[in-house]
């Protein structure tokens, strides 16, 4: 069982726990179902069902004890540390006064000290 620390990606921890839960569930469910099938095949009442349930329960408990005894495989101080990505900086947009060039000037409104004679001549 690995350490589910905040340094591990959450998806990796979720996948690990999903695997463990389905393993234990399969160990507890499949043997009794197999026993039920054997009971119907052999014509017995519930002999193999009970044996399957006991076997599945023992297998699941054995698996859980093994995981607890093994403990975390990697501890945060032993393994490489996950380096988080640096925070994203907001995009920098050019300031309105810093735009240069004729294309930018034709769309900008004239300032209070600029000559308006060229625009007046075009209107006439």
Tokens 């209070």 sit on residue: 112
Number of continuous H segments (helices) and E segments (strands) in the chain? 4, 0
pLDDT recorded at residue 47: 93
pLDDT recorded at residue 124: 47
CB atoms within 10 A of CB 8: 16
pLDDT grade, residue 29 (50/70/90)? very high
Which range of 56-60, 82-86, 115-119 scores highest in mean pLDDT? It is 56-60
Residues 6+ apart with CB under 8 A from 8: 2, 82
First-residue to last-residue Cα distance in the chain: 84
Handedness of CA 7, 8, 11, 13 (dihedral sign): negative
- The answer to whether 68 and 92 are in contact (CB under 8 A) is no
The average pLDDT across 66-84 equals 66
Count Cα atoms within 13 angstroms, Cβ side, for 22. Answer: 6
The average pLDDT across 28-39 equals 93
Please check the confidence at residue 11 and state whether its pLDDT lies above 70: yes
pTM, entire model: 0.48
Question: Domain extents for the chain?
Answer: 27-74
Reported as a single tens digit per residue, the pLDDT across 92-111 is: 766 666 555 555 555 556 66
pLDDT recorded at residue 12: 86
């Amino acid at each position: 069982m690995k350490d589910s620390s905040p340094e591990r990606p959450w998806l990796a921890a979720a996948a690990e726990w999903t695997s463990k839960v389905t393993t234990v569930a399969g160990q507890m469910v499949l043997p009794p179902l197999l026993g039920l099938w054997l009971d119907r095949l052999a014509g017995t009442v519930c002999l193999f069902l009970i044996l399957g349930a006991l076997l599945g329960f023992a297998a699941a408990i054995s698996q859980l004890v093994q995981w607890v005894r093994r403990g975390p495989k990697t501890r945060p101080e032993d393994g490489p540390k996950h380096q988080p990505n640096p925070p994203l900086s907001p995009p920098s947009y050019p300031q309105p006064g810093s735009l240069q060039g004729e294309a930018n000037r034709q769309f900008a409104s004239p300032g209070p000290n600029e000559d308006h004679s060229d625009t007046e001549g075009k209107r006439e």
